[in-house]
Chain A
């Protein structure tokens, strides 16, 4: 199916209050800054955010949190360099945190995309992050039951798209993008370059178009790390 190509603001228009939104990125690499800033402008609130971290500085996810649009963060590591927007609200009891080991987080997202409601993992067995969770001994080893993690929307930064929605990514900015596109009911992807169908060799497609719903064209995407280093603040 040919995918619609819009601006970031048009692309995030359907995000509703109370939605669960996955946001790609590992630190600043792969963070869809333009989509997140468009979401701040759009105004949806009461969001549950799934990301590896909880924002850095005063831009992107950190700014979304600072603007009090986020009720809960599901992440593996909220303690990045300058995570004050999250930290202040968390210590005030104004934002909830679900801490998930990083591989378990990735696999819960992948499982949702593949329609698998649960899986057993060795990760966290015997630790406090497995407290209250079902465990099972399989082949003499203790495993923890983890359930899928679904989302209403995913905001993802890719590099190139074709009009069929096939995506490629850039270097380690790939990280959570492909699995978040799979796990969300509606995936919204920002890309630097859009070509006609056939412009991406099928052999190198990373995310096939079946997982992509809306494409925003951002010809010159900014890198979150560059904004952070420049001391930028949004809005």
Chain B
């Protein structure tokens, strides 16, 4: 078993970087609130990706300079954004028609739990005193593909990749790929399949931190993001 696991774990920025590397050229993508938002900063140069925001923006650009914020132009996290050349603005029903109509190639979402059958839990821990769902269920149900970004384990060390979600579901059987601070894992008909893992951690350790069988190909890739993210 690997000791001192924390020294090998990716930062949140590195997890977002790794997911961004896999966004296909030409894709229309919605980034969920939290960690996924940072994926926009790490799309490889020269790759054209269009970001959608659920509140009616197609072609979201970076955050404006301080002092140039316009709070009529915000993203799903209510943070100020800009419009890129070629952007479009639509009303809410049209924006969600893009989402539920299967027009988005990809939704990259945060996760509390991801199950081996692709179930996603990311809207309620079941413990919050006031529930809130936002657009999470629409994105989970509507995008052509859903990727989840999460730490491999929670703060107590319990696996977040599980056999069956304990928390309330956001969507059933929707997640295709999971990017964690230790690995890239595909969700297939056979369950979790390891695609990449960080250096310095052995498969036995990774399996112990995963709450469902982890299928390991003969030569999983090495997950090695740039430092300093």
Contacts and interface: CB of A to CB of B under 8 A. Distances in A.
Interface of A: 26-30, 52, 76-81, 83, 86-87, 90-91, 97, 99-104, 106-107, 109-110, 121-129, 169-179, 206, 223-226
B135 interface: yes
Contacts of B91: 174-179, 206
B157 to A, nearest CB: 27
A77 B77 CA distance: 11
Contact of B168 (A27, A125, A128, A173): A128
A77 B96 contact: no
Nearest to B77: A27
A126 B89 CA distance: 32
B70 interface: yes
B222 interface: no
A90 B130 CA distance: 8
Interface string B28-41: 00000000000000
B100 interface: yes
B170 interface: yes
B116 interface: no
Contacts of A122: 100, 141-142
A172 B74 contact: yes
B30 to A, nearest CB: 11
B78 interface: yes
B137 A27 contact: no
B99 interface: yes
Contacts of A126: 169, 171-172
Contacts of B93: 106-107, 109-110, 178-179
Contact of B138 (A101, A172, A174, A178): A101
B137 A172 contact: no
B181 to A, nearest CB: 26
A231 to B, nearest CB: 16
A17 B91 CA distance: 29
What is the interface of chain B mostly: helix, strand, loop, or mixed? Answer: loop
B27 to A, nearest CB: 20
A142 to B, nearest CB: 8
Contact of B74 (A27, A83, A107, A177): A27
A29 B100 CA distance: 23
12 contacts: A27-B74, A27-B78, A77-B134, A79-B132, A99-B131, A101-B135, A104-B137, A106-B96, A107-B93, A107-B96, A123-B100, A171-B73
A170 B72 contact: yes
Contact of A174 (B90, B129, B132): B90
A91 B130 CA distance: 8
B33 to A, nearest CB: 10
Query: Among the interface residues A30, A127, A175, which one has the most CB atoms of the partner chain B within 10 A?
Result: A127
Interface in B45-69: 53-57
B92 interface: yes
Nearest to A224: B71
Nearest to B95: A106
Contacts of B53: 172
